[in-house]
Amino acid sequence: MSANKITISGVTIECIQGDIAAQSGIAAVVNAANAELMIGGGVAGAIHRAAGPRLEEECRPLAPISPGEAVITGGHNLPNRYVIHCLGPIYGIDKPENLLLANCYRNALKLAEEHRIESIAFPAISTGAFGYPISDAAELAFRTIVEDIPKLKFVKTIRFVLFSASDLKVHQETLSRMIE
Ligand code: ADP
């Protein structure tokens, strides 16, 4: 079975294929950031290019961040009110990587709640340049989020934006297993 969305206790987790920097209708997008919170490749490049240079200016005093940590800024020219920047673990280097990756999701949701954010979109943190295997990352991300659902008062929509069709398929299959 393969699911695009599941709803648990009024919170919807959904997966789509797309660009994290083009998510209108979502209050906060998550950046798979680097420690310096600067423009880079992958997600960080797409987000900073779409947000414009004022995002880097706002980020400068908040850097550096450590693996698992999250910080929040405005969205600038993005179609989103906020950007939540998470530093994922580098697979095989930052350990324990599962705990550090889970911390990204927990800390991002914590910031979202503190800012009364109703909708948030995540990329597959750490699965690009940082090398985390996609299906392990998907499983961990969904499990961590499902565990946190009882704590959520404001967040109602959690969207995963996957760049490739194959990453989307892995996420859909993993999401389906959450409701079996
Ligand atoms: P990390 O350094 O945390 O691994 P990357 O940005 O290199 O972060 O990649 C994280 C994931 O995001 C990868 O699966 C990559 O394919 C995907 N990705 C890259 N660009 C985008 C984008 N514009 N929108 C959504 N996902 C993207």
Q: 81-129: per-residue pLDDT in tens?
A: 999 999 999 999 999 999 999 999 999 999 999 999 999 999 999 999 9
Report CA(105)–ligand 1 centroid distance (Å).
Answer: 15
CB 120 within 8 A of CB 111: no
Residues with Cβ within 8 Å of 98's Cβ and at least 6 positions away in sequence, in order, are 136, 140
Ligand 1-lining residues (CB < 6 angstroms): 19-21, 32, 41-44, 46, 88, 123-130, 161, 163, 167
The domain that holds 115 is classified in CATH as 3.40.220.10
Instruction: Give strand ranges (E) for 3-151.
Output: 5-8, 11-17, 28-32, 70-74, 82-86, 119-122
Q: Please tell me the total count of domains within the chain.
A: 1
Burial class of residue 25 in the structure, from the number of CB atoms within 10 Å of its CB (0-12 exposed, 13-18 middle, 19+ buried):
exposed
Domain that holds residue 21: 5-178
pTM of the entire structure?
A: 0.98
- The 8-class DSSP code of residue 94 comes to S
Q: Which amino acid is at 113?
A: E
pLDDT 10s digits, 33-83: 999 999 999 999 999 999 999 999 999 999 999 999 999 999 999 999 999
Ligand 1: which of 163, 166, 171 to mutate, judged by most atoms within 8 Å of the beta carbon? 163
CB 140 within 8 A of CB 101: yes
List the residue whose alpha carbon is closest to atom 13 of ligand 1. Answer: 128
Instruction: Give strand ranges (E) for 33-173.
Output: 70-74, 82-86, 119-122, 157-162
